[in-house]
Chain A
Amino acid sequence: MLALALALAVTCAAGAYLATSRDVLRAVIGLSLLGSAVNLVLLAAGRLGPSAPPILEEGRSAFGAVANPLPQALVLTAIVIGFALTCFALVLVLRLMQAARVDDTAQLRFAEPPAVDTVKPPEESDELAERTDGAAALRRRDEPC
């Protein structure tokens, strides 16, 4: 149990260190590591005990000392979901790095531009005019993509 707790602590620390990194790709890897740590927490919450698979032989009707199957089911779901989210985050980060040509989170200030004036908020980029061009937009929407 102590070994598991230590492993969890190390994984969490590594994940948190990476997740707060300035390199955007490392941040994604850090979040993924944190996800692994949380999966370990789920497993540990079900108490670590016997490791025999919870499968009944033919003709038997009661379990002996077997592993608790419920946390295993929970962890499986969590792994799948975490995996899918990590994949999505990776593709997002790669496209972002391609588009912005930087991988420094301190320079990724496109959604919330920093204030240049101490009093007034920054001017925002207005995408409304670029997005709608009236009738052309309506015609385009019915074309196959």
Chain B
Amino acid sequence: MKFAGDVLLRNVCSRVYVLALIVSVWILLRGHNEPGGGFIGGLVAAAASIALAMAFGAELAARRFPFRAPVRCGVLGVLITVASGVPALWRGEAYLTHPWSKLELGVFSLDLSSVLLFDLGVYLCVWGALGGLALELLELDASEDQA
């Protein structure tokens, strides 16, 4: 897919990519008590990867994924999700029971839990799976253009 305004697209998309990734991480971290979470964060990150792929091509966008490949990113995401339920087993509770603790940092306190690990796994899975799928479709399109 070649656009006439190639330079414009590349410049805009490389900046949009960084911004969108930051937004997606913010959405991920905010997700527990407010709208947000791993799934929607992953969707925004996948959108960022698609924007990058439209400007620079699917191969380069695929290399920019965590762990260098979309499928590996997705699979490791699911592994992190599955692993986040294991601490509950060590504590003798049912699988996927998430322990909470408070971290006091002087003037404010952070609530920590393994739910964040679960959500992070979902984030990576959705980014890898949907981003990878979209890149695959873009490659299909490109190969059709050449054929």
Contacts and interface: CB of A to CB of B under 8 A. Distances in A.
**Co-assembled chains A and B:** yes
B140 A87 contact: no
Interface string A83-107: 0100110110011001000000000
Nearest to A76: B39
Contacts of A87: 130, 133
Nearest to B143: A98
B39 A94 contact: no
Contacts of A115: none
B140 A94 contact: yes
A55 interface: yes
A91 B130 contact: no
B144 interface: yes
A80 interface: yes
Nearest to A87: B133
Contact of B133 (A76, A91, A95): A91
B82 to A, nearest CB: 17
Contacts of A94: 137, 140
Interface residues of B, number: 9
B57 to A, nearest CB: 19
Interface in B1-55: 33, 39
Taking residues whose C-beta sits less than 8 angstroms from the other chain, chain A's interface range is: 10 to 19
B59 interface: no
Given A80-B39, A98-B144, A91 B129 contact: no
Contact of A90 (B33, B129, B137): B137
B33 A91 contact: no
Contacts of B136: 91
B39 A91 contact: no
A10 B62 CA distance: 40
Nearest to B136: A91
Interface of B: 33, 39, 129-130, 133, 136-137, 140, 144
10 contacts: A55-B33, A80-B39, A87-B130, A88-B133, A91-B133, A91-B136, A91-B137, A94-B140, A95-B140, A98-B144
Ranked 6 nearest A-B pairs via Cβ: A87-B133, A94-B140, A91-B137, A91-B136, A98-B144, A80-B39
Given A80-B39, A87-B130, A98-B144, 14 more contacts: A55-B33, A76-B39, A84-B129, A87-B133, A88-B133, A90-B137, A91-B133, A91-B136, A91-B137, A91-B140, A94-B137, A94-B140, A95-B140, A98-B140
